[in-house]
Homo-oligomer: A and B are copies of this chain.
Amino acid sequence: MKNVVIIGGGFAGINAAKSLAQSKDLKITLIDRRNYHLFQPLLYQVATAGLSPAEIASPIRAIMNPYPNVDVCLGNVKSIDKKNKTVQTENDEYQYDYLILACGAKHSYFGHPEWEDYAPGLKTLEQATEMRRRILLAYEMAEMEKDPTKQKEQLTFLIVGGGPTGVELAGAIAEISRFTLEKDFRHIDPSNTRIILIEAGKRVLSSFSPKLSKAATRDLERLGVQIWTGTRVTKISENEVQLGGETLKASTILWAAGVAPSSLGKDLNTTLDSVGRVVVQSDLSIENHPEIFVLGDQAAFMTKTGALPGLAPVAIQQGRWAAKNILLDLKSKSRKPFKYIDKGAMATVGRKKAVMQAFGLEMSGFVAWLAWLFVHIYYLVGFKNRFFVFYQWTWSYFTFSKGARLISNPNWKSQANDKNN
């Protein structure tokens, strides 16, 4: 009986666990500091009040129910001891024969962690509900604001980063302001909202083809989003962003730029790339330690065109492949080098448009959006989630209403909510 410890219950970790569980000679321990698996591609939907948290998260224990040889542990891994082959959390220590690190990534503020207070990122559910809170609150404040200059500031949304996350956020906020909130407010015209998408490079969606970049830009502008390319953020403070010599004032600033891998990778004392990802060999293990695998956003798997991007399909395929290589080890067969099958990439632009490139094809507009819809529903874990999300979206589509529009209060204590506070 060999022990496999998997750190991280995201796409890579979950798929590795499910594949490994087939073997009766393995005992698998899956450690995550949260009790649910998160479908990150749909976080922007929670952030823009389109979906509820529970619709994109599945309890890890429920996913692992069918596999009695998988132990699920809620814990925060503090350190890894390669020599003794153990992993330490706050309360426990786990022995391993094989270790899989799949901790994912968090946001990076390019050396300015103090910007996070003013500009939340979008990698976790809590961040998504925090974004949602700020976006909805901005409209509430604008409704009561008498000073036109301040009202304009309330109705200005700045999104930093023109990759898929930034584009999807911008499109969804534009959609809310034009349609969903149309009838909700009496003293503001929500279509006066300024949504500015700031990108340092020459075009948004730089990982897509120039033609699709252009389609997305055009569709965003049609929704009322202003796109500033070739613009770099030099400072973020409360309600203000400095862009070189220019300054913009906005009550809502959202961060969709820089991503950095989990810092746990540093504990491995092995080669990291320039952004901190752990460099892995062709079989997905690290050099000198064939028993340690690093997968997903935390890893740098080099190909002829550079490292594989931090996308869900990459993590899913690597999870299954690492499992396959471990199972080959058990049969004393040789491992296979990982080969990524690029199934393409997609990004939505508002409620009924998207851009998609896959298998040499490029699509934009409504057809691409339909494809996006079905792919994302298909990959959601759990039939019930799929049904709910499909139902919720159909409802939103036909009624223009955005369902989960709750402003949540981070402080739950009742005394804090009393009138005297």
Which residues of A are interface residues toward B (Cβ below 8 A)?
33-36, 52-55, 57, 59, 61-62, 65, 68, 71-78, 91-92, 106-107, 113, 116-117, 120-121, 123-127, 129-130, 136-137, 140-141, 143-144, 181, 183-187, 262-264, 384, 387-388, 391, 395, 401, 403-415, 417-420
How many angstroms between the C-alpha atoms of A143 and B409 in the bound complex?
30
A284 to chain B, nearest CB (A): 22
How many angstroms between the C-alpha atoms of A241 and B148 in the bound complex?
55
Knowing A395-B384, A412-B129, the reply to whether A417 touches B74 (Cβ < 8 A) is: no
- Assess whether A408 is in contact with B125, with CB atoms less than 8 Å apart: yes
List the 9 shortest-distance A-B pairs measured between CB atoms, nearest first.
A126-B412, A61-B184, A74-B140, A54-B404, A52-B54, A106-B414, A59-B405, A130-B412, A35-B407
Knowing A36-B406, A144-B92, the reply to whether A124 touches B412 (Cβ < 8 A) is: yes
Q: In the complex, which residue of chain B has the Cβ closest to the Cβ of A130?
A: B412
How many angstroms between the C-alpha atoms of A406 and B412 in the bound complex?
16
How many angstroms between the C-alpha atoms of A62 and B194 in the bound complex?
23
**Chain B residue contacts of A59, Cβ below 8 A:** 184, 405-406
Knowing A77-B419, A263-B418, A405-B59, the reply to whether A413 touches B106 (Cβ < 8 A) is: no
**Chain B residue contacts of A35, Cβ below 8 A:** 136, 140, 405-407
Q: In the complex, which residue of chain B has the Cβ closest to the Cβ of A123?
A: B414
- Assess whether B263 is in contact with A113, with CB atoms less than 8 Å apart: no
- Assess whether A124 is in contact with B417, with CB atoms less than 8 Å apart: yes
Knowing A52-B54, A73-B144, A130-B412, the reply to whether A419 touches B184 (Cβ < 8 A) is: no
Knowing A52-B52, A62-B405, the reply to whether A415 touches B36 (Cβ < 8 A) is: no
Q: In the complex, which residue of chain B has the Cβ closest to the Cβ of A401?
A: B62
A73 to chain B, nearest CB (A): 6
- Assess whether A186 is in contact with B71, with CB atoms less than 8 Å apart: yes
**Chain B residue contacts of A184, Cβ below 8 A:** 59, 61-62, 65, 72
A310 to chain B, nearest CB (A): 15
A117 to chain B, nearest CB (A): 8
**Chain B residue contacts of A91, Cβ below 8 A:** 144
**Chain B residue contacts of A136, Cβ below 8 A:** 35
Q: List 13 A-B contacts (CB under 8 A).
A: A34-B409, A35-B140, A52-B55, A62-B184, A73-B144, A74-B407, A77-B419, A92-B144, A124-B414, A125-B406, A127-B412, A384-B403, A410-B412
**Chain B residue contacts of A120, Cβ below 8 A:** 412
- Assess whether A264 is in contact with B419, with CB atoms less than 8 Å apart: yes
Known pairs A33-B417, A262-B418; list 12 more (Cβ under 8 Å).
A34-B407, A36-B405, A54-B404, A59-B405, A59-B406, A71-B187, A74-B143, A123-B414, A126-B408, A127-B412, A263-B419, A410-B410
How many angstroms between the C-alpha atoms of A72 and B143 in the bound complex?
9
How many angstroms between the C-alpha atoms of A125 and B407 in the bound complex?
11
Residue in B126, B143, B384 whose CB lies within 8 Å of A411: B126
- Assess whether B263 is in contact with A36, with CB atoms less than 8 Å apart: no
Knowing A34-B407, A404-B54, the reply to whether A262 touches B419 (Cβ < 8 A) is: yes
- Assess whether B68 is in contact with A414, with CB atoms less than 8 Å apart: no
Knowing A144-B75, A395-B384, the reply to whether A407 touches B36 (Cβ < 8 A) is: yes
Residue in B62, B401, B414 whose CB lies within 8 Å of A127: B414
**Chain B residue contacts of A76, Cβ below 8 A:** 419
A410 to chain B, nearest CB (A): 6
A123 to chain B, nearest CB (A): 7
**Chain B residue contacts of A106, Cβ below 8 A:** 414, 417-418
A126 to chain B, nearest CB (A): 4
How many angstroms between the C-alpha atoms of A61 and B387 in the bound complex?
27
How many angstroms between the C-alpha atoms of A330 and B240 in the bound complex?
49
